[in-house]
Amino acid sequence: MKKLVVAIDGPAGAGKSTVAQMAAKKLGYTYIDTGAMYRSVAWKTLQQGKPVTDELIIEVVKDIDVKLNYSDGKTVVLADGEDVSALIRTPEVTAIVSQVAALGPVRSKMVELQREMADVGSVIMDGRDIATNVLPNADVKIFLTASIEERAMRRYKEMKQKGFDVDLEKLKAEIAARDKADSEREISPLVKAEDAELLDTSNMSIDEVVEAILERCR
């Protein structure tokens, strides 16, 4: 099989990262978690200890160095040489990542890095605008989604397992707001590419979703 470039888009909490990692492992591909890159910028912004403004975010992104090291089926996220893989998954980072990702200078820098990583082929990349903007010539394009209720429940279970105190109704509201922000932003909004295949995972197990992705790659 040729060295495919696989683009997976979809809203927050659709399970993109989980299934993309598993599919990449089965295919022997490199998994590129673009959301982690934007989260790294959000994390570094919070480290400044100042009110989060667009100006502060743009200042932070100018000299940030984000790298993804993928080995043994796991992605290690480095921001300026520091392993931030766990630090970027906190509710505080999640709360500002849409604001971060909506800014042109941030997207320009991240997209440039993402395209460089995809150039070698044999990659699965997930995010909000991969098939429409980052990798419009990807060999396989999938738009992964699920109901807000299902996505909120998945996030609720994930955060509870990590020891965070979270409220399910608040998560639903946050995901709905995130959908609205991602879909309505001026730069690279969240939309399904015309040639992407819609995959609604509301009533599918993780293994079923992974198999559906592998089938499309075959």
**In the predicted model, is pLDDT for residue 39 greater than 80?**
yes
- Residue matched to tokens 């509870």: 160
Both tokens of 96, joined, read 């500002």
Q: Tell me: the pLDDT tens digits for 115-130? A: 988 988 889 999 889 9
Cα–Cα distance list, 218 to 8, 28, 30, 136, 182 (Å): 16, 13, 17, 20, 31
Calculate mean pLDDT across residues 40-56.
97
Is the full-model pTM beyond 0.75?
A: yes
The residue range of the domain holding 63 is 5-217
Q: What is the CATH number of the domain that holds 104?
A: 3.40.50.300
What is the predicted pLDDT for the residue at 74? 77
- At residue 1 the predicted structure's pLDDT band, cuts being 50, 70 and 90, is low
* CA-CA-CA-CA dihedral for 34, 39, 42, 47, to nearest 10: -130
Q: Tell me: the pLDDT tens digits for 50-101? A: 999 999 999 999 999 998 887 776 788 999 999 999 999 999 999 999 999 9
Number of structural domains (the chain) is 1
Q: Tell me: the pLDDT tens digits for 147-194? A: 999 999 999 998 899 899 999 999 999 999 999 998 998 888 899 999
What is the predicted pLDDT for the residue at 187? 85
Cα–Cα distance list, 111 to 49, 53, 116 (Å): 27, 22, 9
Q: Tell me: the pLDDT tens digits for 129-141? A: 999 999 999 999 9
